[in-house]
Amino acid sequence: MNEFIYLWILWLLWCLTTFFLTKTKIRTIYSLGILILIIFLPENSIVGELPLNSGIIFLIIYSSALLIITPLPLKKYLHILILSYLYVIYFVWYITSPILSGSYFIVIGLILAVILLQFFGKEFHERLLIWITGLSFGQILYTIICWSYGLEYTINYHHSYTLLCGVLILLSLQRVWSLLSRRVELFVKNMEAKKRWTY
């Protein structure tokens, strides 16, 4: 049951985006994306001779559509490419030297991904887009590498979805924290302004 924690995280994210974000176009895009991802998670597809999880295929299409709708500067595309390669290197390292257990592997991956995304994007939407696109293309590349070397038994979509959802939750918490701190600062400034007027 612990392997499927990402399903609970996705449902939580869907509830948060659907019911707590302001009604905008981006909220609808995020909510639909999360809901369709939940639907596609248990399905597998075969592309050519390569079996892929349908959720990863959907993430590729979804992130590509988001990149078309909201294009990024050229430097951000380089960041997506770097993140994809780092994702593949991290998973190949886990196969070749399995010194970490699964939970430590995920925690270290979460920490590294969040730190990298702080440098790769300034805005919340940029970080989300870089993360989703980099992870999905990295997972495709990792699957191709594993199949070409006969290591298909090492492909574990649970790890990739847990990393995806964990980083999404951490980025969301960081966003909520920054919004709350701004509101507290505004409240304090308003209170100080009222005190000045009363004296």
Residue whose pair of structure tokens reads 């951000």 in the numeric block: 76
pLDDT in tens for each of the 199 residues of the chain?
556 788 888 888 888 888 877 888 888 998 999 999 999 988 888 888 888 889 999 999 999 999 998 888 999 999 999 999 999 999 988 888 778 787 888 899 999 999 999 999 888 889 999 999 999 999 999 999 988 888 777 778 888 888 999 999 998 888 888 888 988 898 888 888 777 766 5
Q: How far apart are CA 6 and CA 10, in angstroms?
A: 6
What one-character DSSP code corresponds to residue 70?
S
The residues with which 50 forms a beta bridge, in sequence order, are: 47
